[in-house]
């Protein structure tokens, strides 16, 4: 039998393992489930958005692990959602092609090797013209997911981190971790991310330090706290974030850390955050940020199904992915 490669770029085919779990048991001819519209990348002849799983959580050093199960858990919840959303009046059952590339083969004992594989896979996918949306995995992975977009883009980029935390530590005890990805991107030798094009959206307390807040202010980043969102509204937050991230840039990366949500509604994550955003606020941000046609990549990080006793965190994570797909359909139409 001839091996089918579909839209999977040559050169990275040995770094990904396919996912074959999208199965809808009960069908209704008037409803299309999300699991029915996602094609395996090995069989697709075209894709607008590519879903990529990264089952790796060794960068989670300050709390319990479990996000390595994120890609499988989120895809399972994704399967049974429907393709229509009456709030934004978008139907993704047609007009957008979505391919699932499977999982990047991660090595839990080797963070640099895993990051290198992620960067290679996502760089190749982005260069092929597909917008990748990765499902982690711990937040250390946003170094290679966003770096891949830099590799594929000629010029400056913007990055919006929707997160309860800064994630701009120098290191965690000398090591790379889920607390370090954005400093790595900002200090990367490529010099494609200026502080003025970096946005921290959703910071809440008490789990941050003044030292890191001072640093992000010093480099000219835009900081919008959860309290700013509660008082000033989601629309204002999205407008400010996009205006900073798109100023003089060629492309924008959006990273959604599920711990931006309040701990009371999303406890299935390494570092649940009391005082965070509500799910509707996060979903509205996903829609408003990701429908901008300058967005060329994104990710959802830190969903940890083994820590998610009610399943709610994983379900919200799946809604983030579907909302991203809806936003991309709108982006293509505008
Ligand atoms: Mn984070």
Q: What is the CATH number of the domain that holds 99?
A: 3.40.800.10
- Cα 66 to ligand 1 centroid, rounded to whole Å: 14
d(CA 168, CA 199): 12
Q: Which two tokens stand for residue 180?
A: 């370090």
Q: What is the pLDDT of residues 258-294, one digit of tens each?
A: 999 999 999 999 999 999 999 999 999 999 999 999 9
Distance, CA 70 to ligand 1 centroid (Å)?
Answer: 15
Q: Do the domain assignments include residue 113? A: yes
* Residue 170 included in any domain: yes
Measured in Å, residue 113 CA sits from the centre of ligand 1 at 21
**Number of domains, the chain:** 1
**Distance from residue 15's CA to the centre of ligand 1 (Å):** 25
7 within a domain of the structure (yes/no): no
Residue 239 Cα to ligand 1 midpoint, Å, equals: 22
Residue 3 belongs to some domain of the structure: no
Does residue 259 belong to any structural domain of this protein? yes
Could you tell me the residue range of the domain that residue 297 belongs to? 13-23+31-333
Q: Rounded to the nearest whole angstrom, what is the distance from the C-alpha of residue 131 to the centroid of ligand 1?
A: 21
**What is the Å distance from ligand 1's center to 258 Cα?**
8
Q: Is residue 1 part of a domain?
A: no
Residue 244 lies in a domain: yes
Residue 50 falls inside a structural domain: yes
**Does residue 312 carry a pLDDT above 90?**
yes
Over residues 164-219, the pLDDT tens digits come to: 999 999 999 899 999 999 999 999 999 999 999 999 999 999 999 999 999 999 99
What is the C-alpha to C-alpha distance for residues 248 and 146, in angstroms, rounded to an integer? 18
Q: Kindly give the distance from the C-alpha atom of residue 37 to the centroid of ligand 1, in angstroms, as a whole number.
A: 30
- Residue 238 pLDDT grade (very low, low, confident, very high; cuts 50, 70, 90): very high
Mind giving me the DSSP string for 45-61?
S--SEEEEE----TT--
Q: Find tokens 């309290």 and name the residue.
A: 227
Does residue 77 carry a pLDDT above 80? yes
The sign of the dihedral angle between the CA atoms of 252, 256, 261, 265 is: positive
Q: What is the pLDDT of residues 320-329, one digit of tens each?
A: 999 999 999 9
DSSP string, 206-228: TS--HHHHHHHHHTT-EEEEHHH
């Amino acid at each position: 039998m001839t091996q089918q490669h579909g839209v999977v770029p040559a050169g990275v085919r040995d770094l990904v393992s396919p996912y074959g779990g999208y199965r809808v048991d009960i069908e209704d001819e008037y409803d299309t489930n999300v699991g029915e519209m996602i094609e395996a990348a090995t069989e697709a002849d075209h894709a607008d958005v590519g879903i990529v799983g990264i089952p790796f959580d060794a960068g989670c050093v300050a709390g319990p692990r479990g996000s390595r199960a994120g890609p499988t858990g989120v895809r399972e919840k994704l399967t049974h959602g429907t393709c229509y959303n009456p709030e934004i009046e978008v139907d993704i059952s047609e007009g957008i092609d979505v391919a699932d590339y499977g999982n990047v083969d991660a090595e839990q004992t080797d963070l640099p090797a895993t990051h290198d594989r992620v960067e290679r896979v996502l760089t190749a996918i982005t260069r092929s013209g597909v917008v990748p949306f990765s499902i982690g995995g711990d937040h250390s992975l946003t170094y290679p997911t966003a770096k891949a977009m830099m590799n594929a883009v000629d010029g400056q980029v913007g990055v919006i981190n929707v997160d309860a935390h800064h994630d701009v530590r120098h290191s965690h005890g000398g090591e790379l971790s889920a607390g370090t990805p954005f400093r790595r991107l900002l200090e990367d030798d490529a010099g494609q991310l200026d502080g003025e094009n970096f946005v921290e959206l959703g910071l809440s307390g008490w789990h941050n330090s003044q030292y890191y807040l001072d640093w992000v202010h010093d480099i000219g980043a835009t900081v919008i706290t959860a309290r700013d969102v509660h008082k000033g509204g989601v629309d204002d937050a999205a407008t400010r974030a996009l205006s900073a991230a798109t100023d003089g840039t060629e492309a924008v990366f959006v990273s959604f850390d599920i711990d931006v949500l309040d701990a009371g509604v999303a406890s299935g994550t390494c570092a649940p955050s009391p005082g965070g955003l509500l799910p509707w606020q996060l979903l509205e941000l996903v829609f408003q940020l990701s429908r901008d046609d300058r967005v060329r990549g994104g990710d959802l990080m830190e969903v940890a199904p083994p820590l998610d006793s009610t399943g709610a965190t994983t379900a919200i994570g799946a809604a983030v992915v579907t909302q991203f797909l809806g936003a991309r359909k709108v982006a293509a139409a505008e």
